[in-house]
Structure 1
Amino acid sequence: MTRVKICGLMNEEDVNLCVQAGVHMVGLVVEYPLPVPWNLTHEEARNLIQCVPPLVDTCIVTGGTVEKVIDIANKTNPNIVQLHYKETLADVEEIASQLRSKGIQTTKALRIDSNGNCDFEIRDPVQAAKALSTSGISAIIVDSYTESMPGGTGVMVNLSAFQTIQRESSLPVILAGGLNPMNIQALIDDVQPYAVDVLTGVEVIPGKKDAEKITEFLRCCQAVD
């Protein structure tokens, strides 16, 4: 089965809901540099991470300086740190190196705009994917980018750019951006991502997940496999 991450969790009830549904990873947005509806403090995130059973991975989604990211990771102790802001390649390499020594993996989001360019110091998806493939991270997340919202946009990612990154990267590539129970089966069948990452597509309102949507999302993922 394609691995499933559900992101933007904010309470224990939704964490338990995701675990019971069979997700592979839960994602928590932690002290993100810009105002987003799902932001948690590191204390809130740590408490939720402690509720997650051992066979489900935990991921904090954050961004900022090397020092800030390492500090949050130390305070929350997730399995994975997802960099989702404007980190440079040098930042990514340094964070991945420091976290690896602590047994924490690092992933990096490449946010793609409507023209197929990356919101990254390396704008070309091919060159960005090649550079990140040797940066020490464990996977690349390909997400959509808009000026109004840095993540959780609900906007479908540029699939051509996603497939380009798939071809050029030696790392697993994760599909995010605009996913929901109605389109996920066709998308998995079409582009065969290593994993999928959903946020707004399984929500009632920002910060509150929908049990029926989560169940249907997982069912559709399983149906493809």
Structure 2
Amino acid sequence: MNLSEEASLPKIEQLNPAVHVDTGMRRLGIPQYEMDRMLDLVERSKPSLLMSHLAKADEPQSTDNVTQLERFNSIRNQLGDACPSSSLANTAGILLGPPFHFELVRPGIGLYGGSPDPNDPKGFKPVVTWQAQVMELQDVAMGESVGYGGAFLAPRALKLATIGIGYADGYHRVLGGQGELAIDGQICPIVGRVSMDLVTLDVSAISTIKKGTWVEVMGPIISIDTVAVKANTIGYELLTRLGPRMERVVV
């Protein structure tokens, strides 16, 4: 329930709604200027949860986190015995410590092994592994160009592998020439641009590679956060952009 008027919906109390209050995110939630009506709203709607969302939880030194916590606690104190279970912390909020936890936490990216700070893994372990296969192998001579626009020129004779993954699958185009994939635990650089359906790797150091070999795009060797930093984004975006044509296997 994000709006105070929703408390007047027919039989709202039978839905056991979650009441979302805005303590500083200014995105969704009942605004601060309506807080004096909170007790009435709660008594009418009989919510099962009081919740809010932290705007800067991934910046642990920000005083805004403490400000939002104080506002949230003020609302809880105002409700007294009528206050339902409470929730404030997402993954980054959990890392801020027990005062932010209340009865329920809402881990998101952490469930997938991603850190709220892509530059600091914070002990998270990979859960998602993204793989693709080698489609073709070829040798190129020194000075030969690779891919669209001839963006890469071989500095020496190289063995290249074409991998069946591209930006249509959610692999960011910006990773051309700077991304890395892993084969048998060895990291291999992308050469040339990322195409719609394909990327090309320098696999000169791998003697056992063959057509059909599985390649790690993201996983234990190439972490979500490693890819996110190279793509100048965050792990959340990488995971939500994974394309529908990839087979999902739950283990």
TM-score interval, smaller chain: 0.3 to 0.5
> Relative contact order: is structure 1 or structure 2 higher (C-alpha 8 Å, sep ≥ 6)?
1
TM-score normalised over the length of structure 1:
0.36
* Larger gyration radius, structure 1 or structure 2: 2
What TM-score results when the alignment is normalised by the length of structure 2?
0.33
